[in-house]
Structures are given as C-alpha cells and as structure tokens.
C-alpha cells in the first residue's frame, strides 16, 4: 500500500494532480478609475536625476498607476510631456568617469553634456486638459499664490517653472489650475502627494531659512503647520467635491535619503571634519549631515573640513536643524492621515515604507536599497527615484487602493523598469 501512495504522488507531481489555482482577475472594487487625475510635486511629475525629462515623465508614479488602472477600466492618461531627454530647466545628471581636481578619475554623476532644451519651454495648452498636473518644486505654501508662475522660482532661484508649459492661464494659482483641470476632466479617482518641498528647501539650504516663520514662508523656510493644513485641506476638498475617490500619500523622511547620507563626516584618515557654526568653528557632531550637492572637490583640493578652512555651515545640517525638519514632517503626516480618514480616502504611509527598506529589500531576485547609485531605487540626485523606485512606490499605492476599495489591481513588475543607467 505504501508503494502505491508513492507512485500516486509521483504521477500527481508530473501531470494530472495539479491544484486548480489561477490568479485573481483584476477588479476595481468600488472605485472608478475611468478618469484619473494626479496632483502633487516632483514625485508625481516624474522628476529624476536632478531634472525633468521625457522618459522620466513616462515612468512617473502617476503614469505607472494609470497603466495599472487601465486594466480595470481606466481611461487615457495625458501628461505634459517634454520633447527631449537631456533635462529641463537644466541638464540632468548622468553617470560618467571623470577626473576630479586631484586628477584621479572616478565614476560619478555629472551634468548631461548634450543638453538640448528645444521646445521644452513651449506652452502646450492647446493639448489640455492634462491628467497629471504635478509641478516640481511646488509646496502646499504655494497653493493659493496668485501668479504662481511669475512669482515663484522652480526649486532654485532664477529657474523657469515647469508649470509655465501647461498651466491654462499664466496668472493662475495652483488652486485655480487644479479647479480648472478638475472641471475639465471630472475625475472619478485622484492621487495627491504633496509636502516634500515644504521641508526640503529649508534642508537643502543648510538650515539658513526660518523653521517657524511668523508669516508667509520664504523659499528657504519650513511651511508653518497651520498654513500646510489649510492649503492641503483645500486641495482635498476640491478633489472630492464631485464624489471622486482617491489616495493621499504622506511625506517621506527626506533625511533618510542618499542626499543627506552619502558624504561621510570624516576625511580619509578618519578625522572628523570642521565646520562653521555662526561665528565659531567646531567639529561636526555625530548625527549631523553633509549635503550631497556640496562641492566635493573643495574637500579634496581646497582643504575644506580642516580647522583652518572649515566647511561653510550652509552645507551642513545641524542636530537642531534636523530636529526642525523631522518635527515638521511628523506634523504634516499626522494631518494627511487624519484628512484621509475624515474623507474616506485611501492612505499610503510612504514614510514608514521607505524606512522599512533602509536595510535593503529583495524584489523578484533583485536587491534595492537607499544607497546612492548602487541601491537602484534612487536616481542620481539622491532624492527622487529611478523608474524602478517609482514602481516600488506605485505598488504601495496599489496595496492601499485594494485594501480601501476592495479591488484586485495587480502590482507593477518592478524589474521591468530601469534603474540607474551605467555608462
């Protein structure tokens, strides 16, 4: 009898006794994806490698989600795509071997040499409405600013805002553009990912701004909590006005990103760098951070970091400044989660997810981590994601949608998207 059981098991393993298991067919649950609208900043727009360019837009978080939505009745998804690949409004970062000031060649990010912006600043309003109206550099603090395009800069002073390309009226505020697009598209589903630049511009400046401005924040200030709450709420209220369902994504801890964790605090001999702190010179403390955009050649050849030539404080985030950033992020995220609950919307704690993958995560045999260049998830600006990184984020959004609205949207195949491009 035992022999018969063994023979039966072998036969089942080879042929006829396979379990009748098939994957669930994609379903929308009680959500309607026929008209999807995306609102937010650079993460939704598809910013990568320190700039905006066409293939990055084509692999934006919003575009990846729209492709999944199409499987369950989602409609066309139009973005204000750029015509070129080299970067707008400045060259994107690419990997290349270049010699530093010391003459030693190394592989690292450099600016795209074949920079071509022909047509990038051309207004394309005749093609509207666009489903993706995310704008790199936008803060919640900017939401009700009239003449937004003329008044505010794009991340850094003097740069042309991407919004000029597709805003229906150059005098619009982001709120007015949202309202115009909402009325034109009549979205049934939306995503909002906003708040990154409300803290990043302060951190990027090395904390030279005001963490608690008494009035309207300047470019380098942290957005006041009350202003963030008021303007974010206004965005949500406008999107749900006609019964649309959607997802709110919270603010990641920017200080966990490669931009703040790549340049070491010690020189090659293990000596802690010196910095200026107001009128004093001191050694950098444990837990403080050097910004990725700091001129590294100055460390190599201009003796920056020594007691005689300390690193300017503009390139260092102190412990106090780090505390201001993380306090603001926690406040913003508490409000975003409460806003999702109050309006019956799906919520994505992307902050917690990105912290969970800090040791690295394996996806279909490929490892991803926050490590600069090698980790595969972050692009060459150390802040925004590669297409593979955006696909990882999209899958967290899909999980939240399925959980909230009872659907079976399939996840994106992360490994089908590209990571960092090596020369």
Q: Is there a domain that residue 280 lies in?
A: no
Angle between helices 61-69 and 387-405 (to 10 degrees): 50
The answer to whether residues 275 and 284 touch, using CB atoms and an 8 Å cutoff, is yes
Q: Is residue 389, in this structure, part of any structural domain at all?
A: yes
- What is the per-residue pLDDT for 115? 85
The pLDDT of residue 104 is 87
DSSP symbol at 223? P
Q: Check residue 155 and give its pLDDT.
A: 46
User: Which tokens sit at 412?
Assistant: 């994106």
Domain extent for 373: 24-255+320-416
What pLDDT score was predicted for residue 120?
80
User: pLDDT tens, 179-237?
Assistant: 999 999 999 999 999 999 999 999 999 999 999 999 899 989 999 999 999 999 999 99
Residue 97 lies in a domain: yes
3-class secondary structure, 407: coil
CATH of the domain at 139: 3.40.50.1110
pLDDT at 156: 53
Looking at residue 45, what is its pLDDT?
A: 95
Provide the β-strand partners of residue 369. 376
Q: Say what the alpha-carbon torsion angle 19, 22, 23, 27 is, to the nearest 10 degrees.
A: -140
The pLDDT value given to residue 413: 95
In a domain, residue 285? The reply is: no
pTM of the model: 0.91
For the chain, how many residues are written?
A: 423
Question: What is the number of structural domains in the chain?
Answer: 1
In a domain, 292, yes or no: no
Residue ranges for the chain with pLDDT beneath 50: 1-22, 155
Q: What angle do CA 112, 117, 119 make, to 5 degrees?
A: 155
CA-to-CA distance for 369 and 9, rounded, in angstroms? 42
| Domain membership flag for residue 276 | no
- Please tell me the predicted confidence (pLDDT) of residue 152: 67
Inter-axis angle of helices 225-240 and 174-185, to 10 degrees? 20
> Which is nearest to 134 in space by CA: 70, 91, 181?
181
Q: Please give the pLDDT value at position 89.
A: 85
pLDDT of residue 16: 43
What's the pLDDT at 385? 96
What is the per-residue pLDDT for 371? Answer: 93
β 289-290/105-111 pair status:
unpaired
Report the alpha-carbon distance of residue 40 to residue 177 in Å, rounded: 12
Domain annotation covers residue 281: no
Cα-flanking dihedrals φ and ψ of residue 136, to 5°? -55, 135
pLDDT single digits (tens) 8-23: 333 344 344 444 444 5
What is the pLDDT, as a whole number, of residue 159? 63
| Contact residues for 314 (Cβ-Cβ < 8 A; gap 6+) | 205, 206, 208
Please answer whether residues 388 and 369 qualify as being in contact, where contact means their C-beta atoms are separated by less than 8 angstroms. no
Rounded to 5 degrees, what are φ and ψ at 170? -65, -15
Q: Is residue 17 part of a domain?
A: no
> Burial of 237 by CB count in 10 Å (0-12 exposed, 13-18 middle, 19+ buried)?
exposed
């Amino acid at each position: 009898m035992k022999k018969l059981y063994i023979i039966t098991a072998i036969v089942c393993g080879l042929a006829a006794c396979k379990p009748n298991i098939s994957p669930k067919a994609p379903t929308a649950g009680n959500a309607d994806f026929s008209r999807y609208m995306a609102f937010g900043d650079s993460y939704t727009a598809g910013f990568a490698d320190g700039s905006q360019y066409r293939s990055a837009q084509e692999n934006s978080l919003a575009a990846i989600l729209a492709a999944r939505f199409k499987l369950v009745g989602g409609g066309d998804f139009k973005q204000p795509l750029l015509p070129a690949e080299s970067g707008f409004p400045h060259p994107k970062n690419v990997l290349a071997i270049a010699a530093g000031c010391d003459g030693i060649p190394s592989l690292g990010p450099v600016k795209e040499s074949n920079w071509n912006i022909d047509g990038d600043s051309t207004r394309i309003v005749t093609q509207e409405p666009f489903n993706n109206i995310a704008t790199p550099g936008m803060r919640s603090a900017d939401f009700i600013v009239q003449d937004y395009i003329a008044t505010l800069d794009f991340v850094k002073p003097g740069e042309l805002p991407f919004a000029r390309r597709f805003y229906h009226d150059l005098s619009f505020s982001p709120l007015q553009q949202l309202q115009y697009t909402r009325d034109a598209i009549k979205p049934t589903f939306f995503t909002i990912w906003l708040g990154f630049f409300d803290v990043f511009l302060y951190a990027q400046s090395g904390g030279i701004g005001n963490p608690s401005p008494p009035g309207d924040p300047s470019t380098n200030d942290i957005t006041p909590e009350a202003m963030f709450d008021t303007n974010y709420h206004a965005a949500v209220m406008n999107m749900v006005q006609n019964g649309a369902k959607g997802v709110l994504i919270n603010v990641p801890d920017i200080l966990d990103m490669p931009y703040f964790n790549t340049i070491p605090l010690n020189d090659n001999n293990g000596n802690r760098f010196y910095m200026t702190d107001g009128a004093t010179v001191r050694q950098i403390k444990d837990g403080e951070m050097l910004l990725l955009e700091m001129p590294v050649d100055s460390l190599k050849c201009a003796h920056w970091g020594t007691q005689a030539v300390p690193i300017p404080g503009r390139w260092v985030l102190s412990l106090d400044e780090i505390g201001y950033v993380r306090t603001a992020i926690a406040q913003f995220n508490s409000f975003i989660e409460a806003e999702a609950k109050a309006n019956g919307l799906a919520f994505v704690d992307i902050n917690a997810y990105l912290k969970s993958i800090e040791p690295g995560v394996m996806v279909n045999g490929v490892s991803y981590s926050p490590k600069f260049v090698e980790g595969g998830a972050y692009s060459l600006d150390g802040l925004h994601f590669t297409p593979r990184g955006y696909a990882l984020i999209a899958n967290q959004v899909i999980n939240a949608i399925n959980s909230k609205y009872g659907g079976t949207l399939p996840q994106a195949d992360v490994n089908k998207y590209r990571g960092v491009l090596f020369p």
